[in-house]
Structure 1
Amino acid sequence: MVQGGMSVVKYLLFAFNFIFVVTGAALIAVGAWVQAKAAEYVDFLGDKYTSAPILLIVVGVIIFILSFMGCCGAIKENYCMVMTFAVLLFIIFVLELVAGILAYVYKSEVETVLRKNMKNAMMNYNESNHDIVTKTWDDMQSNLKCCGANNASEWKKYMGEVNLPYSCCPGKDPTKPCQITDDHFTKGCVDALASFLEDKILVVGGVGIGIAFVQIIGIIFSCCLARAIKKEYEVV
C-alpha cells in the first residue's frame, strides 16, 4: 500500500475522477445542445460544422465510463489500471483539444459557407420537392428576425417584385402574403445566423479546452500514483 504523500495523491485522484464524471456529463449536455441547435439549419451548413459537438458527445461518454476505471485503479492501487487510465485520459485530452481548435478554426469560415449555401437554397423555396428547405427558411427568418441571405430585396428574383415569404413579416399569418411594402425584417440572415452559430461554437470551444486542461492534473496524479505503486511492487 502506498504511504505518505502518495496516499494523499491516491485519494485526490479518486476525488478528481468524481469531477471527471461531472465533466463527462457536462460535455454530453453541451455537445447535444449545440448539435440540436446546429441541426435546425443543416441545409446551410456542411457536415464538418456539426463534427465538433458530436466529438464532444463521444468524448463525454468515454470520460464518463473511463472515470470508473480510474476510481477502481486508485482504490485498489492497481498499476496497470492506473497507467491505462492515464494513457486513455491523455488521448481524451488530445481529442478535446482537437474539438476546441476545430471550433475556433471553423468559426472564421462560417459566414463564407452560409452565404454560399443560402444563395443556393433560396431558389428552392416553396418548391414541392424541397419542403424541408422551405421550412428551414421560414423557421430561421421567424426565429432570427431576418429576411433573405443579405437583405429582403433578394427574394424578388424568386418570388416577384413585391412578394416575400410570410416569415419575413413579424407575426404574419402563413395563409396571408407578406409584401416588400409591409413591415418586414431588414437584417440579412447570413449575419443573423453567423452570429447565432458563432456563439454556439465559442461555447463548444471554451468547454472543450477548459475541461481538457483540468484533466492535465488528473494525468499527473495518475502517473505519480502509478510510479509509487510500481516502486512498492519492486520493494516487495
Structure 2
Amino acid sequence: MEKSSSEDSSIHRSPSLDSKDSDFAKPSTSGRSFGRGFTAGAFYGTAGSRGQSRAEAGVKTDKYNAPKGSKYVVFYLDLSFVFLLEFKKCNMARGCLCCLKYMMFLFNLIFWFFIVLLIILLSELILLILFFVYMDKVNENAKRDLKEGLLLYNTENNVGLKNAWNIIQAEMHCCGVSDYTDWYPVLGENTVPDRCCMENSQGCGRNSTTPVWRTGCYEKVKMWFDDNKHVLGTVGMCILIMQILGMAFSMTLFQHIHRTGKKYDA
C-alpha cells in the first residue's frame, strides 16, 4: 500500500546532518564549532541562523544592543582588567612609599645629626661668652650658693654632700668657701670639720688651738683652673674641632646624596 501525501506531510522529520535548512547543520560565522550542532552563536545565547544573518549583514552592536552573554563576558573582563591595574598601582605605591621612607629616614638622620651638633656648638659658644662677660656676678652667685649648701652638711639625707666637702678640703688643703669662718654658722663658734685640720685627727676641729687650713676652697679651685688652663684649653679645642668636622662631614654626605639621588635599601 502506498501512503498518501497527506500522511507524509503529517509526519515530522527529525533533523539530520544532511538537512540543509536546519539551523543546527549550518556552520558558525566564526568557523569554530564547539560540538555537534553547537555553534558560537548558541554560546552567546543566540541561535546560529540569527547570529549568522547579523554577521553577514554587517550589523555592529554597541554595549546596549549586545547579546546578554557578551555583556557578561565584557563586564567580567573589564572588572578583571581594573583589578589588575589597581593591584599594580598598589604595588607601585607601596614600593615608592618604602623607598621614600628610607630616603627620608636617611636624610633626616644626617640632617638632624648636623642640627644637634650645631646647637651644641652654639650653646657652648654662648655660655663661654656669657661666662667671661658676667664673670664677677658668676663668682658672687657661686659663693653664695656654696655657703647656703654648707647648711646641709650635717643633715642625714645629704651624706654625699658631706663626703664631697671632706674630700675637697683634704685634697686641696682648704677650709670653707671663702675661709674657715664659713663653718661657724653651721657647726658652732670656733668649730670646723676635722678635714680642715692640718694634722687630721678625731675631734681636732673642735679644738680652737689646732692649726687649720685658712684658705677657702673656692679660691683653691680657681687657682687649680688657672694652673691647668692650657690643658683645659687644649681639650676644649679638640672637642670643638671634632664637632666642626662632624658637622662638615654630615653636611657633605647630605649634599652628595641629595645631588646624586642615590637610594639605599634596608
Higher helix share: 1
- Return the TM-score normalized by structure 1: 0.50
Query: TM-score, normalization: structure 2?
Result: 0.45
Q: Please tell me whether Structure 1 or Structure 2 has the larger radius of gyration of its CA atoms.
A: 2
